[in-house]
Structure formats: structure tokens, C-alpha cells
């Protein structure tokens, strides 16, 4: 695993830049992901997505389906892409500290 | 090589970004004779194996030479294909749905020199670069997958098994002497990317051991409910384990219920199952996709296991050859392999192809398995 030093914190990440453990997430991690995911400034809408993703993961042990994410946040998929140019998986889940999406992606 | 920018600015990734433009429109690449006669073709003939002529209402003719392609190709090879197209076809060419290459020309005088040129081109090792064939009632290219070249879930290799098989069936590629066309396909795991489930003969990568579980990492790497839901036989359940005094979430696999599909590994990197002696090949037969004479069919499992014998898979290629020879000798004209097997009865198919019938071949998956058993006294001794 690679190690990243950022704002005084150390993170272990895989080759795609996903964090090694949901529990090692912290606000500094968000700031780091911002720099690699083409996000200029983290606003309340970015945070809302991260909060929903983290709550859902804690409760259910999985990331929500895209339609659930849209429904709960009220953000259409198009808007999610405006917030996270890499999309809900590679962008938002990475920032929220969720495990890397699997399957035939 | 030092970094050379394409003009993309990583500081402003969304600036000057072009998106949703789709593929180039197909008619930009039509040879003029195809553009002119589009939708107005009268008839076609297969002049010889690999060479077709289509005749339009206008009297225009287009000659097509089909050559085998290995699908996994270098840019050097693509450039050589372009060079040939420039020389004989005004720069036009196309690829078929089975990854053969077709060179088209409206100049009859180009056909013979192009044919001679194509057959004269060989790799340093001796293989034909552009073998002509793949038409009519023969064996055309093998639709195949990634294998050990690029995928992480394979139980066998794609390019290797395919080269070994095409070498053995080469005479069928360059000729048209079978009762009907015979499609061979290959997939390196039972995700079945491609056409194995609907081909006359199919090569399929198969595991024989349950997944290993990386308890230490599974809860960090995986969404555990997804791994559980991935299992078609419900062999996986959530559980807890103690490692170095810490209680961790993990799963347990009931091995008697696992049939090694590998779906759980697809969803969860902490459940790998590839194994050098466990993994190998299943052969299936009798599928087709056309509606000609009878409805499309799924291919059926006819050989439960053949070991991986890289680099040439001799047992597998010999078994395929035996099936094709039996079919070729026995089937009626126009009869696809599956139509033949159903007409003579599968018990005869196993006899004529000298295949062993084992209990593995009897369907045992849920209610529909029942319909694959024989509820009649009609059978042959
Ligand atoms: C009136 C127009 C056409 C008709 C009725 C027609 C009919 C057919 C039929 C019935 C087959 C199946 C033969 C077999 O596999 O046994 C066939 C095969 C084929 N046709 Fe046409 N065709 C027409 C135009 C075209 C055109 C314009 C092209 C492309 C330039 C084309 C390319 C092919 C190819 C590549 C095959 C497969 C040959 C093989 O794999 O053996 N066809 N055609
Ligand atoms: C008068 C119309 C047609 C005739 C007489 C005809 C005839 C045939 C025949 C004899 C075959 C060989 C089938 C086999 O060996 O199982 C074939 C294959 C095929 N035909 Fe047609 N066909 C016609 C129209 C079409 C059309 C309109 C399409 C596409 C829209 C089509 C697509 C195909 C394809 C994809 C195959 C290859 C199937 C395979 O690989 O198993 N055909 N056709
Ligand atoms: S068939 Fe399976 S192993 Fe082969 S490319 Fe598809 S998913 Fe990967
Ligand atoms: S390999 Fe397939 S059958 Fe076995 S536990 Fe995994 S999902 Fe279930």
C-alpha cells in the first residue's frame, strides 16, 4: 500500500487512491481527495453526499445504489457529476472513505 | 520517456473538456461503392473460401476478402493492415463481428494480387499474418476474452487456448466442407463475456475449489452484504472472527454448497479462488443464435473438466477436434451441431463423439433442472 502525507495526517491508499479503512477517514482525507478528484472547493452539497454515503454505509454495510443516493440527497445524477466530475463511485465514495466499488465496473 | 502533455490541464480538469460526442458515424468510412449501392444489393456469392462478391441493382460489384485476425493486436500490425488497405482498397477496410478483417474492393483485377500478397505475409515464427477464410460452412474466428492477459477473475487463458484451437482447426477456417457453419467461442470464467452460451462449441474457464477468505481485510475491502448476495447457492453467510484479540466482521462459506462460480470474488477482493491445479476447462456444445430452421439454442455442458495444459492445451484441442469430426461425418447438410445432436439424441452424441458422460453433466440448479431430465421412455440403448 502507498502512504500519503497530507495536512499532518498519514493515509494508506490502494493503487486507485481509495483509503484502506472506512474508520481511518477524517476531514483531512476529504481535503486530500479534493486535490485529486478535480474539485475546486468542498461546499455543503459535497458534504451532504459524503454524509449520506457514510451514514448509509454504517447502517447497511454497502454503498447505496445511485437511485437511492439521488432520492435521499435530492440531487439528480447530472448534478452529482457536477459536484464530483469522476462520478458517485470514483469521486464521492472515495471522498467518503467507502471501499472501492467492485464488480464489472 | 519524459512526460509530454497533450494540452490537458490537470489544475483545471473540466476546462476545454469534450464529452458525449459518441463514435464517428459509420458512413464516414464507407468505401464509395458501398455508399453508392447501400440498401440496393441484389445477391452475393462466396467465390472461394474467404472471398465474397456482392452485386448491386446498378450492376456494381464489391469483392470482399476476409482474413483471420488474432483480435489482440499491436499498432504495428494495425499499420500493416492499413498499408494493405491503402494498396488495394483505396484505404478502406472493416472488422467483422467475429474480429476477422475484411478488405473490400470494386476492382476485380485487385483480388488476385491482394490474395497472393496477404498469403505471402508471415510472422518471424512462421504463422500467417492474414490467413484467408472464415466464410460459409466452416469454422471462422473464435470469439474470446481477456484471460491471463488482463482480467483478474479468469480460470484459464483466452489468447493461448484460442491460438491452440485455431491451429488445430485451421483447415476448417480455410475451407467450407462442414455441414453448416460452426461457431467456436471461449470465455475464461463463467461470467461468459462473449458468446460461449450460444455457440456450436464453447471453451469455458472453470474453478474447482471454494474461495479463500482473507479475514483480516475483508471488512475493509468489501461491502460484505454484496458478497453474500453474489452467491447463487447461498453458500455465504456473515460471521465474526477473532484475530489478535480483535473481533472482526467477516463471512463463512459452506463448502458443500459452493460450486466455485467466483461471483463472490468479483464483488469482494478478499475472496480469491484461482488455483493452478484446480482450475481448467469445461466444454459446451450445441448452441446457436440464428433463427434458421429452428429457434436459437443455448450450448450444453458436454465435458465437465479438462486441466489447463498451457501453452498448447492438447487434451482440450483433441476433444474439440473429435467432436467436429464426428459432426462433420454424421450431420446432414445445413444442420448446425446442436440441431444434429438433438436429432440423433444426446445419448448418441456422446457415443459418436466418444465423450464420457459423468454425473457433472446432469443439471441440479433449482427447479428448472427438472426439465432437463428425461420424462419419456423414448431413448436409444
Ligand atoms: C440484398 C442484399 C443481401 C442479401 C440478401 C444478403 C444475404 C446474405 C445471406 C443469406 C447470408 C448468409 C449466408 C451464409 O452464411 O450461409 C449472407 C452472409 C453474408 N453477407 Fe450478405 N447479403 C446482402 C448484402 C450484403 C452486403 C452489402 C454485405 C457487405 C458488403 C454483406 C456481407 C455479408 C457477409 C460478410 C456475410 C457472411 C458470409 C459468411 O460468413 O459466410 N451482405 N448474406
Ligand atoms: C432473406 C433473408 C435472410 C436469409 C435467407 C438468411 C439466411 C441465413 C442463413 C442461411 C444463415 C446461416 C444460419 C445458420 O447456419 O444457422 C444466416 C446467418 C445469419 N444471419 Fe441471416 N438471413 C436473412 C436475413 C438476415 C437479416 C435481415 C439479418 C440481420 C438483421 C441476418 C443476420 C444473420 C446473422 C447475424 C447470421 C449469423 C448467425 C450465426 O452466426 O449463427 N440475416 N442467415
Ligand atoms: S470471461 Fe470472466 S475472466 Fe474472462 S474476461 Fe470475462 S469476466 Fe474476465
Ligand atoms: S464461489 Fe460462487 S458458489 Fe462459491 S461461495 Fe462464492 S459465490 Fe458462492
Q: In this predicted model, what pLDDT tens digit does every residue of A84-98 receive, in sequence order? A: 999 999 999 999 999
pLDDT score recorded for residue A93: 98
Close Cβ partners of B323 (under 8 Å, ≥ 6 residues apart): B201, B283, B285, B302, B337, B353, B355
Ligand 1 midpoint to CA B135 (Å): 10
Nearest CA to ligand 3 atom 7: B191
Q: Is the CB of B30 under 6 A from ligand 1?
A: no
Nearest CA to ligand 1 atom 5: B43
pLDDT score recorded for residue A1: 83
Q: Are A62 and B266 within 8 A, CB to CB? A: no
Q: How confident is the model at residue B308 (pLDDT cuts 50, 70, 90)?
A: very high
> Can you read off the three cell numbers belonging to residue B227?
458478497
- Interval B310-354: pLDDT, tens: 999 999 999 999 999 999 999 999 999 999 999 999 999 999 999
Average pLDDT for B201-227: 98
Ligand 1 midpoint to CA B42 (Å): 11
Q: Is the pLDDT of residue B82 over 80?
A: yes
Q: How many CB atoms lie within 10 A of CB B126?
A: 6
Please say whether the beta carbons of A11 and A18 come within 8 A. Answer: no
pLDDT score recorded for residue B80: 98
Q: Which residues of chain B make contact with A60, given a CB cutoff of 8 A? A: 225
Scanning the structure block, which residue is given the C-alpha cell 445477391? B43
Average pLDDT for A1-23: 96
Question: What is the percentage of chain B residues whose pLDDT exceeds 70?
Answer: 100
Q: Which atom of ligand 2 is nearest to the CA of B288?
A: 41
The answer to ipTM > 0.90 is: yes
Ligand 4 midpoint to CA B236 (Å): 7
For chain B, list the strands marked E by DSSP. 41-48, 51-56, 61-67, 94-95, 101-105, 184-187, 201-206, 236-243, 246-253, 280-285, 300-307
How far apart (Å, rounded) are the C-alpha atoms in residues B286 and B296? 10
State the average pLDDT for chain B. 98
Average pLDDT for B33-58: 98
Return residues 217-246 of B near A (CB < 8 Å): 220-226
Question: What is the percentage of chain B residues whose pLDDT exceeds 90?
Answer: 99
Q: Which residues of chain A make contact with B225, given a CB cutoff of 8 A? A: 60-62
Q: Is the pLDDT of residue B59 over 80?
A: yes
Average pLDDT for A34-43: 95
Q: Is the pLDDT of residue B1 over 90?
A: no
Q: Which residues of chain A make contact with B221, given a CB cutoff of 8 A? A: 99-100
Q: Are A102 and B267 within 8 A, CB to CB? A: yes
Average pLDDT for B63-90: 98
pLDDT score recorded for residue B22: 98
How far apart (Å, rounded) are the C-alpha atoms in residues B324 and A46? 60
Instruction: Examine the residue annotation and report whether A26 is marked as an active-site residue of this protein.
Output: no
Please say whether the beta carbons of B102 and B96 come within 8 A. Answer: yes
pLDDT score recorded for residue A25: 97
Amino acid at each position: 500500500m502507498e502512504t500519503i502525507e497530507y495536512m499532518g495526517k498519514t493515509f494508506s491508499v490502494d493503487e486507485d487512491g481509495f483509503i484502506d479503512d472506512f474508520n481511518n477517514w477524517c476531514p483531512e482525507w476529504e481535503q486530500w481527495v479534493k486535490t485529486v478528484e478535480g474539485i475546486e472547493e468542498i461546499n455543503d452539497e459535497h458534504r451532504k453526499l459524503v454524509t449520506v454515503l457514510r451514514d448509509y454505509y454504517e447502517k447497511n454495510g454497502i454503498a447505496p445504489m445511485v437511485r437511492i443516493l439521488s432520492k435521499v440527497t435530492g440531487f439528480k445524477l447530472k448534478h452529482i457529476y457536477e459536484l464530483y466530475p469522476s462520478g458517485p463511485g470514483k469521486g464521492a465514495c472515495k471522498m467518503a472513505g467507502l471501499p472501492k466499488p467492485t464488480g464489472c465496473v | 520517456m519524459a512526460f509530454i502533455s497533450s494540452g490537458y490541464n490537470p489544475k483545471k480538469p473540466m476546462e476545454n473538456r469534450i464529452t458525449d460526442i459518441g463514435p464517428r458515424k459509420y458512413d464516414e468510412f464507407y468505401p464509395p461503392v458501398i455508399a453508392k449501392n447501400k440498401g440496393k444489393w441484389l445477391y452475393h456469392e462466396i467465390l472461394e473460401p474467404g472471398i465474397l462478391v456482392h452485386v448491386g441493382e446498378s450492376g456494381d460489384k464489391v469483392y470482399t476478402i476476409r482474413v483471420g485476425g488474432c483480435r489482440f493486436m499491436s499498432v504495428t500490425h494495425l499499420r500493416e493492415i492499413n498499408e494493405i488497405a491503402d494498396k488495394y482498397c483505396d484505404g478502406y477496410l472493416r472488422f467483422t463481428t467475429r474480429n476477422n478483417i475484411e478488405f473490400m474492393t470494386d476492382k476485380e483485377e485487385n483480388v488476385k494480387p491482394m490474395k497472393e500478397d496477404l498469403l505471402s505475409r508471415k510472422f518471424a515464427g512462421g504463422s500467417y499474418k492474414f490467413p484467408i477464410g472464415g466464410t460459409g460452412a466452416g469454422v471462422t474466428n473464435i470469439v474470446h476474452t481477456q484471460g491471463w492477459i488482463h482480467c483478474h477473475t479468469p480460470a484459464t487463458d483466452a489468447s493461448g487456448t484460442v491460438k491452440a484451437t485455431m491451429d488445430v482447426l485451421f483447415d476448417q477456417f480455410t475451407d467450407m466442407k462442414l455441414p453448416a457453419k460452426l461457431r467456436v467461442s471461449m470465455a475464461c470464467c463463467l461470467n461468459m463475456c462473449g458468446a460461449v452460451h450460444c455457440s456450436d462449441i464453447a471453451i469455458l474457464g472453470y474453478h474447482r475449489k471454494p474461495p479463500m477468505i482473507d479475514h483480516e481485510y475483508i471488512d475493509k475491502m468489501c461491502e460484505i452484504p454484496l458478497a453474500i448476495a453474489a452467491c447463487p447457492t447461498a453458500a455465504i453467510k456473515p460471521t465474526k472472527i477473532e484475530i489478535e484479540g480483535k473481533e472482526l466482521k467477516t463471512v463463512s462459506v459452506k463448502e458443500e454448497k459452493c460450486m466455485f462460480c467466483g461471483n463472490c470474488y468479483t464483488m469482494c477482493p478478499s475472496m480469491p479462488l484461482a488455483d493452478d491445479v484446480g482450475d481448467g476447462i469445461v466444454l459446451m456444445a450445441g448452441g446457436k443464435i440464428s433463427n434458421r430452421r429452428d429457434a436459437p439454442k443455448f450450448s450444453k455442458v458436454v465435458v465437465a473438466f479438462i486441466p489447463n495444459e498451457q501453452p498448447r492445451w492438447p487434451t482440450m484441442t483433441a476433444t474439440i477436434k473429435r467432436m467436429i469430426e464426428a459432426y462433420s461425418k454424421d450431420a446432414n447438410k445445413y444442420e448446425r451441431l446442436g440441431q444434429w445432436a438433438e436429432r440423433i439424441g444426446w445419448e448418441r452424441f456422446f457415443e459418436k463423439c466418444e465423450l464420457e458422460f459423468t454425473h457433472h453433466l446432469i443439471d441440479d440448479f433449482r427447479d428448472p433442472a427438472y426439465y432437463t431430465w428425461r420424462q419419456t421412455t423414448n431413448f436409444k440403448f
